[in-house]
Homo-oligomer: A and B are copies of this chain.
Amino acid sequence: MIPLDPLPEPPPRPLAVVAMGGHAFLQEGQRGTMEEQEQNAERVVDLLMALVERGHRLVITHGNGPQVGNLLSQQELAHEEAPSLPLDVLVAMTQGSLGYVLQQALLNRLRERSPDRRVMTIVTQVLVDRDDPAFDDPSKPVGPFFSKAEAEARAEASGWTIREDESRGWRRVVPSPRPLEVLQFQMIREAATAGHIVIAGGGGGIPVLEDEDGRLSGVEGVVDKDLTSSVLANRIGASLLVILTAVPQVYRHFGTDAQEALGAVTLEEIERLAEEGHFPPGSMGPKVEAVIQFLRGGGARALVTDADSLPAAMEGRAGTHVVGRI
């Protein structure tokens, strides 16, 4: 195992980790052109300025679902022309491309307001457990839809696990193992503590396994970006974890007549609601799990909201706030 450093003391200015969905770069109905992704990044960056202007040190993580999906389609269609690369390498590619788009939008915004702040994107590997049960049960759909016959041919040729995705067709499914460690956390902490805005852990990080001799190798899988953000936030001593999602708040009794938005709750309250099954696995479940993990690991406060509500949430007037240690 890679040796674990002791938990660091929080830095003098508050350090926040903000996790953005891959859909933050791509709005409903968009295909993912560069113009669209740039405009969306600029919009999100405007909203993140609420944090920067309060003097928070900032580490930004992001999803990559639609972008890695496009890469998988392209690799698939062109596999006779150029070798298809494994999923871990495609995740690394989206860390480069989305990191660049976000970094450029941040630099252009900061130029007006805080020209002394610098921005860097760090290619991030995340260690997962070889014995994670997710490897026996691949369940995360990735890439294009196929007919049943096409999907079966691919499964035969490439060793894919395939699954029917609702009524839209068949897709490849990959394991989604839990993140154990963010391999670059020390350097992310150093850079953020120095005052740089750091983009890291894109797409949940590039999943890697460690063999008996400590040798690392990539694995075809997808790590939940919110869980990775939570591990990273604890390891760098962040006091605040912000999870940006598609809805302004977390709800109990979601989708029923008794639906009720959560404004502020304690760690203990949200643990109880999670046990009672208020947060379904396919939607709010992993986000709440990431929040609980962060607060149990020593985090002070977590916020779940959508990007548009972030400035109001920073004033305590929107979002779901979960409070841990003081």
Contacts and interface: CB of A to CB of B under 8 A. Distances in A.
A196 B86 CA distance: 27
A114 to B, nearest CB: 13
Contact of A194 (B34, B111, B190): B190
B186 A216 contact: no
A123 B120 contact: yes
A31 B92 contact: no
Contacts of A103: 123, 125
- Number of chain copies forming the complex: 2
A43 to B, nearest CB: 16
A218 interface: yes
A39 interface: no
A146 B75 CA distance: 20
Contact of A74 (B78, B97, B196): B78
Contacts of A265: none
B92 A96 contact: yes
A312 B95 CA distance: 37
A119 to B, nearest CB: 8
Contacts of A92: 96-97, 99-101
A85 B97 contact: yes
Given A74-B82, A82-B74, A83-B70, A118 B216 contact: no
A218 B118 contact: no
Interface in A161-216: 183-184, 186-187, 190-191, 194, 196, 199, 206, 208, 214-216
Contacts of A75: 74
A124 to B, nearest CB: 9
A215 B106 CA distance: 11
A75 B108 CA distance: 28
Contact of A81 (B73, B95, B101, B208): B73
A131 to B, nearest CB: 21
Contacts of A89: 34, 97, 100-101
A191 B123 CA distance: 14
B85 A118 contact: no
Contacts of A97: 85, 89-90, 92-93, 96
Interface of A: 31-34, 70-71, 73-78, 81-83, 85-86, 88-90, 92-97, 99-101, 103-104, 107-108, 111, 118, 120-123, 125, 144, 183-184, 186-187, 190-191, 194, 196, 199, 206, 208, 214-218
Given A74-B81, A190-B191, 20 more contacts: A31-B82, A34-B83, A34-B86, A74-B78, A76-B78, A77-B77, A85-B97, A92-B96, A93-B94, A93-B97, A100-B123, A103-B123, A103-B125, A104-B125, A111-B214, A111-B215, A118-B184, A118-B187, A122-B122, A187-B196
18 contacts: A32-B83, A33-B83, A33-B85, A74-B82, A78-B78, A89-B101, A92-B101, A93-B94, A96-B123, A100-B206, A103-B125, A108-B215, A118-B186, A120-B122, A120-B187, A122-B122, A123-B199, A187-B196
